[in-house]
Amino acid sequence: MLNPEHWDRLTAGKSLFLSRQYLSLLRDHAPPGVRLHVALVYRDGNPVAAIAAQSLCVRQDQLRPETEARARKRERALRRTMDGLDHRVLVCGNLLSSGSHGLAFADDAEPQHVWPGVTEALYRLRRAERLAGETDLVLLKDLPTGDDVASAALHPYSYRPFETEPDMVLHLDDRWASFDDYLASLRKDYRKAIKNTHKQIDDAGISVQRLAATEVEAEAAALHRLYLNVQEAQSFRLVTLPSSYLPAMARAFQENFITTGLRAADGRLVGFVTTLRDHEGAVAYYIGYDKQLAASGTPLYLRLLQCVVEDAIAARATSISFGRTALEPKARLGAEPRGLRCFVRHRIEPMNIVVRGLIDIMPEPDLPPERHPFK
């Protein structure tokens, strides 16, 4: 029921995850339990902001069972915070990606004047969800750390910030026409490590293949199984993709959604990674691999990260957003941290005191290692 012309005007040139094409796809292939919400904000009759949000229930059973006593401090704190938790959360952003993919402001808008409208829209979205259950928390996901205007504008509405692990971003030199050019720009020890990974994969009889959209459809079950291998190892599984999501992305975005597979000598897929071309940049998107084979010493994960660099260079992207996990191997590829933070607010004003207290006691996120792989 929103004006499509106004939506397209606001989101043009912004994140692909805000496009109507993507949001329509997500509506049809959303993870179980996730509801989608959109809104437009107007000022004096002119559209000034587009909002894409998702809501879901967050429960303690979304944590991986505790199997080791040496769980990281952050995981232990998360476990204490979620003890007995059963809350509905409205998230401004995309639960299926890292980065700020929930808001688009008009190019000529002054953000400090638009943010009050954004908070009002989120309030109305939350209130409209009462039939699905009372929404307890509102979360603004993955805003840039240096956005002081957002911080100042959100503070009066009891939104409180907390830092997350950074997005690891590799900036691609426009002189790199191939992966060999990228390798040539690296220092000898980093270049040697990548070539050694390639050799180990080759010696294991594993080949690298780019999958067309029809092949992604045909291999949907295998891709989903490999994705679940990685997903189920995470300490906190907020959402799980349905098996139809990746084939739908491949059909919808064609050459802008690159799926690269690792195939064993017997024909089995033992790993895959997807790279999404998002305007000038690229996103290292979903990944999956055979955990048992990786545990035996075959460097599947490292090879898949390198495939993303190959694919992004071939697509003539200017940068790669690798997301915020596995900081060390991404730093070794040359990726650098880009700070992100979230803002959270409870619907009951006194509970925001508790929220602030929880944020204060949460351990600091992991810091990325400093690596200097380029000559």
For β-strands 281-289 and 269-278, DSSP reports them as antiparallel
Asked if 319 and 282 touch (Cβ cutoff 8 Å), the reply is yes
Identify the top-confidence range among 65-79, 123-137, 329-343.
Answer: 329-343
Residue 375, CA distances (Å) to 187, 309, 333, 338 in order: 5, 18, 13, 22
Say what the pLDDT of residue 1 is. 82
User: For residue range 312-355, what is the model confidence (pLDDT) as tens digits?
Assistant: 999 999 999 999 888 999 999 999 999 999 998 887 665 555 55
Going by pLDDT thresholds of 50, 70 and 90, the confidence category of residue 78 is very low
The amino acid that residue 357 corresponds to is G
Share of the chain above pLDDT 90, in %: 74
| Cα gap 267→275, rounded to integer Å | 22
Res 359 pLDDT > 60: no
Share of the chain above pLDDT 70, in %: 86
Say what the pLDDT of residue 73 is. 53
| Cα gap 106→40, rounded to integer Å | 11
